Amino acid sequence: MARRERVVRMSVEQPLWRALTAYRVLTMIYAVMLGFFGRQGYERPWIAVAFLAVLCVWTLATLPKVANAASCTKRFLVADLTLALTGILLTPLADHQAQSVDHPTLPSIWTAGAVLAYAIKGGWRWAGLASSLVAVANIIERGHPSRDTLHNVLLVWVASIAIGYVVEVARASERTLARALEIEAATRERERLARDIHDSVLQVLAMVQRRGTALGGEAAELGRMAGEQEVALRTLVAGGLTRPSHVSEDESEGAVVRVVDVPDEDDGTDVDLRTLLAPRAGSRVTLSDPGTPVLLPAPAARELAAAVGAALDNVRVHAGEGARAWILVEDWGDEVIVTVRDDGPGIPEGRLAQAEGEGRMGVALSIRGRLRDLGGSAELVSVPGQGTEVELKVPRTPRERRGKAGAK
């Protein structure tokens, strides 16, 4: 079963909705306190008491409505702004002096919360509409456009539109980021599929071509056809279009299928890397590993073992039939290091770059790509005439290090 990328996305708007929820509660308390301490100045205090009671009930009852964008419906926004506008227009009825003295309106700064909900939900255009309605209501409530009234109206108008614009930019950035994550996940999946193809079908086709040519006759024609299919498939590998099963070439018995019961997903199961590398040892491959289990999460162990297999495949293909290889496994607690060394002729300078250009990406994908996906690294050192050494490093996470310590 193919692994699936787990991408957890948190909306950039969510902190704004949480802040708006807290703002509405705090401004509700502030409006009630203003009404309580200024109750002696109201000609009709019962209007103020009735409105503030409705304001409190509405604010507390609709807290779930401002929890996220899905809950904040257009119907709620209209009702919320209507309540704020009603409170502004009722202020002169409760306090005749409100039109001649700069007294706060009944909802006070709670009104800004209703406007901000428009800004977060619909962006700067919605914010501009809501703040304009509030501006008209404030001018009607005052009876004339005083300097303080215009100042407060302009402040709310500019602030709400600015917040609405920021929300729209954040949404666009979030969509861009989501698209980038999808592209990255698709690219990693294509590379993984290409690695599997390189480890399986391409190795088998190359083996058929070599052996068919050596046998001659009808087998030579079969080898030629296999070579043509190898070239065609390498072109597809560059695009990462298919994924066959894992097949590798055993050094004495030809192509065999090796099936390792390792889950693709990281379900917390640890696997001893030594058990995955043991089948790689043979008459020309020497394995040296610790006397204690080298535990890694199943996906990491599987990918590391596959990278070792790709390195050994390169030894068999490029170093010659008589080349020997050595595998050294080291467990340093915070990381696992596997070194694959051979006594072949080495890799000429520039050969790897040329191979990648030809679609032969055994080192680029099967080795370095796997280690990169694991957060590790692959270092290749080769001196012509002195063999090649590939060092594979896989770091352990804090959880894995604790598991390793517990196993000891």
- DSSP-derived letter for residue 105 is P
Question: How many DSSP H helices and E strands does the chain contain?
Answer: 13, 9
Q: What is the pLDDT of residues 38-76, one digit of tens each?
A: 777 778 888 889 999 999 999 999 999 998 888 899 999
Top mean-pLDDT range of 232-236, 244-248, 280-284, 352-356: 280-284
Tell me how far CA of residue 34 lies from CA of 40, 59, 106, in angstroms. 11, 17, 8
Q: What is the pLDDT of residues 163-216, one digit of tens each?
A: 888 888 888 888 888 888 888 777 777 666 666 655 566 666 666 777 777 777
* Pairwise CA distance, residues 342 & 399, whole Å: 34
Query: What's the half-sphere exposure (Cβ side, CA atoms, 13 Å) at 33?
Result: 8
When pLDDT is averaged across residues 338-362 and rounded to a whole number, the result is 70
